[in-house]
Amino acid sequence: MPALNEIAALRSETPGCAHHIHLNNAGASLVPRPVLEAMQNYLTEESLHGGYETFAAHAGAIAGFYDAMAKLLHTNPRNIAFAGSATDAYARALSAIPFEAGDVLLTTDDDYVSNQIAFLSLQNKLKIRVLRAAKLPEGGVDPQSVKELMEKHRPKLVAVTHVPTNSGLVQDVEAVGRLCREREVWYLVDACQSAGQMPLDMAEIGCDFLSGTMRKWLRGPRGAGFLFVSDRVLEAGLEPLLPDMAGAVWVENDRYLPMDDARRFEFWEKPFALLVGSGAAVKYALDLGLGGIERQVTALAEHTRQQLSALAGVLVLDRGSRRCGIVTAFFEGKKPADLKKALDGAGINTGFGATVNALIDFKEKGVDWALRLSPHYYNTHAEIDRAVEVLAKVS
Ligand SMILES: Cc1ncc(COP(=O)(O)O)c(C=O)c1O
């Protein structure tokens, strides 16, 4: 296994690097060969021996997913559930909160679009109230505002997105977590854009649920996600709105017992090839080390911001005292379609966000779209410089 500074070796273990400059790791990263092979081998075995038989023969590799994910999050395998996506994990967690009419859900301006839609749906259906805490002058949720709103409104749930999809900001989930723990308030963290690009410690964050995906910074497959479930949740008997026979046992005609671990939040049927690939992806990240990954990603992102800022008419939009691997920029007088065409033509993968992806953030920044570049540790300065060179030539 190459080390983090062995970029050439890391790239030769990533087949996609031979085809593209991939600066869309916040969309979906390129899977490394060990992850690809783990999934291919599993699928081959299923085709030769049968799905249930392959499952029975690979209990070790399947348990390996829960073990690796527990190491990544500094928790126990019993606190980990597999999910079909970050949103799937998030929705299952949200459905477990015993909301009643009049309850308050406290969140931030920078929470993910789908989370905001889910909160508003609960507001419509269950008559809860959605409140958003104020921001710090430099960007990111203000813990003092969270504290004041908690004291005034006693929310049933606090929900914070660690890293928003549309900016390089890292929100202070630990400070909010301390407030939740002092007041015993349920706390849900969306770590979809932070898992795999920085260390995550469940005790330090103090959350009850934390959701994420495999396909972004963890470099795993699409169609796979995870949910951390705290012991507090398990002991309090919270369960998803609709558990199935993996999450509960039907013990009497009119009674079931929920599982005593986080499997309570899983469904029985799973894409086991993806689950095994996810385990391989998490092990890959653990072997490289999350502290080093964060340093390398942050340095590449800072380089990207500097290069973009040097272009005339380019506004780098990222705010916050702590920033990460997502770089967003607005190009005055340019059309996103023209930028995309030029980048695609040069074999450079990037992402674009529109106002509907970040309603509050983009309105405040006075933009209606942004280019998103998201380098991972396997990208190079030369790749970033090439992307900036292509962007500079778009008229
Ligand atoms: C911050 C954040 N949360 C949640 C999601 C949703 O993840 P998924 O598409 O896996 O449901 C995304 C996807 O981009 C995201 O950026």
Same domain, 211 and 316: no
How many Å apart are CA 167 and CA 164, to the nearest integer? 6
Residue 57 alpha carbon to ligand 1 centre in Å:
33
Same domain, 23 and 49: no
Same domain, 235 and 364: no
Same domain, 275 and 363: no
Identify the CATH number of the domain in which residue 125 sits. Answer: 3.40.640.10
Residue 192 alpha carbon to ligand 1 centre in Å:
5
Number of neighbours of residue 378 by Cβ within 10 angstroms: 27
In a domain, 73, yes or no: yes
Same domain, 204 and 248: yes
How many Å apart are CA 217 and CA 288, to the nearest integer? 13
Ligand 1: does its nearest atom lie under 6 Å from the Cβ of 112? yes
In a domain, 56, yes or no: yes
> Is residue 1 over pLDDT 90?
no
User: Averaged over 326-343, what is the pLDDT?
Assistant: 98
Residue closest via CA to ligand 1's atom 14 equals 165
Question: Do residues 314 and 291 make contact, with C-beta atoms less than 8 angstroms apart?
Answer: no
Ligand 1: does its nearest atom lie under 6 Å from the Cβ of 165? yes
Ligand 1: does its nearest atom lie under 6 Å from the Cβ of 171? no
**Residue of 234, 235, 236, 264 whose CA lies nearest to 248:** 264
Same domain, 218 and 334: no
Same domain, 181 and 279: yes
Residue 113 alpha carbon to ligand 1 centre in Å:
9
- Side chain identity at residue 18, one-letter code: A
In a domain, 312, yes or no: yes
Same domain, 226 and 369: no
User: Averaged over 230-256, what is the pLDDT?
Assistant: 98
Question: Do residues 91 and 68 make contact, with C-beta atoms less than 8 angstroms apart?
Answer: no
Q: Of 229, 254, 287, which closes a domain?
A: 287
In a domain, 177, yes or no: yes
> Is residue 254 over pLDDT 90?
yes
> Is residue 185 over pLDDT 90?
yes
> For the chain, what is the mean pLDDT?
98
95, HSE (Cβ side, Cα atoms, 13 Å): 14
Same domain, 193 and 83: yes
In a domain, 2, yes or no: no
Q: DSSP character for 267?
A: -
Q: How confident is the model at residue 159 (pLDDT cuts 50, 70, 90)?
A: very high
Ligand 1: does its nearest atom lie under 6 Å from the Cβ of 213? yes
Residue closest via CA to ligand 1's atom 3 equals 192
How many Å apart are CA 323 and CA 304, to the nearest integer? 12
Same domain, 221 and 140: yes
Q: How confident is the model at residue 52 (pLDDT cuts 50, 70, 90)?
A: very high
User: Averaged over 189-208, what is the pLDDT?
Assistant: 98
Q: Of 230, 259, 287, which closes a domain?
A: 287
Buried b (16+ CB within 10 A) or exposed e, 223-246: bbbbbbbbeebbeeebbbeebeeb
Q: Which domain holds residue 24?
A: 7-28+289-392
Ligand 1: does its nearest atom lie under 6 Å from the Cβ of 304? no
Same domain, 60 and 198: yes
In a domain, 1, yes or no: no
Residue 191 alpha carbon to ligand 1 centre in Å:
9
Alpha carbon 383 to its chain centroid, in Å, reads: 24
Q: Of 245, 262, 287, which closes a domain?
A: 287
Counting ligand 1 atoms within 8 A of each CB, the residue from 24, 92, 109, 193 with the most, and so the one to mutate, is 193
Residue 181 alpha carbon to ligand 1 centre in Å:
26
Task: Please count the structural domains in the chain.
Answer: 2
> Is residue 45 over pLDDT 90?
yes
In a domain, 376, yes or no: yes
The predicted-structure confidence for 68-124, as pLDDT tens digits, reads as follows 999 999 999 999 999 999 999 999 999 999 999 999 999 999 999 999 999 999 999
> Is residue 395 over pLDDT 90?
no
In a domain, 203, yes or no: yes
**Residue of 194, 167, 180 whose CA lies nearest to 327:** 167
Same domain, 139 and 278: yes
Residue 49 alpha carbon to ligand 1 centre in Å:
35
Q: What is the pTM of this model?
A: 0.98
Identify the CATH number of the domain in which residue 298 sits. Answer: 3.90.1150.10
**Residues whose CB falls within 8 Å of the CB of residue 278, separated by 6 or more in sequence, listed in order:** 65, 69, 82, 214, 218, 220, 221, 224, 226
